[in-house]
Amino acid sequence: MTTNTLTKPAPAAAGSTGPYAARIQHVSKSFGRPGAQQQVLDNISIDVTPGEFVCLLGASGCGKSTLLSLVAGLDKPSAGTIETPGGRPALMFQEHALFPWLTAGRNIELALRMRGVPRAERRGEAERLLELVRLKGAYGKRVHELSGGMRQRVAMARALAQDSQLLLMDEPFAALDAITRDVLHDELTRIWHETNLSVLFVTHNVREAVRLGERVVLLSSRPGRVAREWQVDIPQPRRIEDSAVADLSVEITEQLRGEIRRHGQH
Ligand SMILES: Nc1ncnc2c1ncn2[C@@H]1O[C@H](COP(=O)(O)OP(=O)(O)O)[C@@H](O)[C@H]1O
Ligand SMILES: [Mg+2]
């Protein structure tokens, strides 16, 4: 179970988390005062198995970020339960949220310190993580010296520094140009293969979901419910322009349009 403290999660070898990395069961969430409540999520159930890459897809405002913050333990569901047996998940957002007064390396070391990594090991580990995201040599760079894509690489390294078994990503590449985003899709797929992480990746971009996910879960809007899900059996590495990716994207987009029409949004 996740706790809301910053204590180090119990170290666990891959595969030791049981049959799921995250279990979301019958989760509903409402905001507002009694009598003036807005229901954002309604009876959501999703299991993420260890090592699985699940994309959560939906129109903006459908409650994706709300659901992710519940899985992260930043807020509590109004009903239902969420379990993350591997410990506190790592989080990565659209905004890199790096500390601008620290270098890339120091930003990562801060996460290592929070995790309880001894001081003497932090530098070497930060450099290893920078190498993993292909930013070798960026240790001493400040945030303003890095491009948008490089900042998101550092943010990814910092998320990996938490050594969680579950990585929660909330539209992490949405602000990047298409070419940089495509490169980072490749990097994320490679890192996912190399690390055995479970990933719950939120996006409103259908192609991105199909490019990355082993499974795509489509949420409806107002309130957010699981509308449908697809198993994506297209072999990795995929390209965003692959015809199989395009074909499935067309099918999912049709369904998403239907959801948006039904709920009178946009
Ligand atoms: N803390 C909050 N208080 C009140 N309403 C909220 C809060 N957080 C989110 N909402 C509402 O929940 C809905 C879903 O928001 P969000 O989860 O950010 O959607 P998405 O990430 O899919 O774009 C929106 O209508 C938003 O206004
Ligand atoms: Mg959001």
64 lines ligand 1 (CB under 6 A): yes
Beta carbons of 221 and 255 less than 8 angstroms apart: no
In tens, the pLDDT along 20-38 reads 999 999 999 999 988 889 9
CATH 3.40.50.300 domain span(s) along the chain = 22-89+165-262
Q: What is the pLDDT of residue 264?
A: 61
**Ligand 1 centre distance from Cα of residue 66 (Å):** 6
66 lines ligand 1 (CB under 6 A): yes
94 lines ligand 1 (CB under 6 A): no
Q: Is the peptide bond before 77 cis (omega within 30 degrees of 0)?
A: no
Q: What is the pLDDT of residue 55?
A: 98
Pick the CATH number of 22-89+165-262 from 3.40.50.300, 3.40.47.10, 3.10.620.30, 3.90.79.10: 3.40.50.300
Counting as low any pLDDT under 70, the low residues of the chain are 1-18, 264-266
78 lines ligand 1 (CB under 6 A): no
The overall pTM is greater than 0.85: yes
Tell me which residue has its CA closest to atom 25 in ligand 1.
61
58 lines ligand 1 (CB under 6 A): yes
The minimum-distance atom of ligand 1 relative to the CA of 219 is 22
- At residue 242's C-alpha, the angle toward residues 240 and 246, to 5°, is 80
Q: What is the pLDDT of residue 14?
A: 45
Q: What is the pLDDT of residue 10?
A: 41
- Give burial (CB, 10 Å; 0-12/13-18/19+) of 122: buried
User: Amino acid identity of 44?
Assistant: I
Q: Is 202 helix (H, G, I), strand (E, B) or coil?
A: strand
**Ligand 1 centre distance from Cα of residue 86 (Å):** 27
Question: Which residue, 206, 205, 98, is CA-closest to 146?
Answer: 98
Q: What is the pLDDT of residue 82?
A: 97
At a CB cut-off of 8 Å and minimum separation 6, what does 225 contact?
A: 41, 42, 43, 44, 219
**Ligand 2 centre distance from Cα of residue 102 (Å):** 27
- Give burial (CB, 10 Å; 0-12/13-18/19+) of 124: exposed
**Ligand 1 centre distance from Cα of residue 29 (Å):** 10
31 lines ligand 1 (CB under 6 A): yes
Tell me which residue has its CA closest to atom 17 in ligand 1.
63
Q: Where are the alpha helices (DSSP H) in 86-231?
A: 104-115, 119-132, 148-161, 178-195, 206-212
Tell me which residue has its CA closest to atom 8 in ligand 1.
66
The minimum-distance atom of ligand 1 relative to the CA of 204 is 22
The minimum-distance atom of ligand 1 relative to the CA of 60 is 23
Q: How far apart are CA 61 and CA 24, in angstroms?
A: 20
